[in-house]
Amino acid sequence: MIKLNNITKIYDINKNNSITAVKDINLHIKDGDLIILKGASGSGKSTILSLIAGLCKPTEGEVIVDEKGISKLPDHFLSLYRRENIGFVFQKYNLIPNLSVKDNIILPLIPDNPDEDILNTKLQEVMERFTISHKKDIIVRNLSGGEQQRVAICRSMINNPKIIIADEPTANLDEKLSLDFIDILKQLKENGKTIIIATHDPLFFNLDFASKTIDIKNGKIIS
């Protein structure tokens, strides 16, 4: 269960150009839910994702994940929280362009220094699931947009996280690849993952397997 209680996030709070990204947000997400956050660019969707992922801390309010307040966790524990619980698919995928597919996917595992067999098993599993194993040694900058996205999904799944967060995941994809991605989401939901997606792509708005679609405007939930 993810709870956002009275969350406000102001960027550059002590500066002249401070921006209120979200204001007094309350949101409850149950385990296994697939939530669509929709809204225009700059509406505050990405900030909500960042708050849930522990990538930033709220100015006011509290984020609670599985009964644990993560907002006040020190950086060290926040990193562990992300590593164990969160799989993040970024808008521009945020892959390391000059690394191979394999090297990008294993990035979340590196700090744990896993046994080589365990690492290879996890890698193989995730690459086969998202049909990218044939490109294992290719440098990711040489891949197509859809392939890069699958690498980003593999990377987000390698630690088998409970929560998948995706920020504008289809912004750089054509319609066919976007539909492929939606299929992947369906699979993940069937596997019991909690999924939160920020998007303004209409393809997502009428998904029959989505638990809830939330409209965000000017940092507030409007429906």
Partner 1 sequence: MTINKYLIEYSINSLLRQKSKNTFIIIIFTFLIALITSIFFISNSIKYELNSTIDKLPDITIQKLHGGRIVDIDNSVIENIITIAGVQSTIGRVWGYYYFENAGVNFSIMGIDNFETQYTKSLEKVIDDSTKTDILDNNFMLVGSGVKKILNNNFFTNSFNFISNDGSFKKVKIGGVFKSDIELQSNDMILVSKELAYQILGVDKSKSTDIVVKVSNPKELNTIVNKIKLLYPNTRIITNDDLKVSYESIFDYKSGLFLTLFIISLFTFFIIIYDKTSGLSSSEKTEIGILKALGWKIDDILKEKFYEGFIISFISYILGISIAFIFVYFLHAPLLRDIFEGYSQLKTTFNLPFVIDFQILTLVFFITIPVYISATIIPSWKTATLDADEVIR
Q: Name the site residues for partner 1 (rule: CB under 8 A).
A: 11, 47, 50, 53, 55-57, 75-76, 79-80, 82-84, 86, 88, 90, 94, 96, 98-99, 103, 106-111, 113-114, 119, 155, 159
CB of 214 to partner 1, least distance (A): 20
Please, which residue, 69 or 111, has the CB nearer to partner 1? Answer: 111
d(CA 119, CA 110): 9
CB 37 within 8 A of CB 59: no
CB of 151 to partner 1, least distance (A): 13
CB of 46 to partner 1, least distance (A): 9
Please, which residue, 23 or 155, has the CB nearer to partner 1? Answer: 155
CB of 203 to partner 1, least distance (A): 25
Please, which residue, 11 or 209, has the CB nearer to partner 1? Answer: 11
CB of 63 to partner 1, least distance (A): 13
Task: Count CB atoms within 10 A of the CB of residue 158.
Answer: 21
Task: Count CB atoms within 10 A of the CB of residue 206.
Answer: 9
d(CA 191, CA 25): 29
Please, which residue, 61 or 108, has the CB nearer to partner 1? Answer: 108
Please, which residue, 55 or 207, has the CB nearer to partner 1? Answer: 55
CB of 81 to partner 1, least distance (A): 8
Q: Under 8 Å CB-to-CB from 90, ≥6 apart: which residues?
A: 152, 167
Please, which residue, 50 or 210, has the CB nearer to partner 1? Answer: 50
Cα 91 to the center of its chain, rounded Å: 9
CB 23 within 8 A of CB 79: no
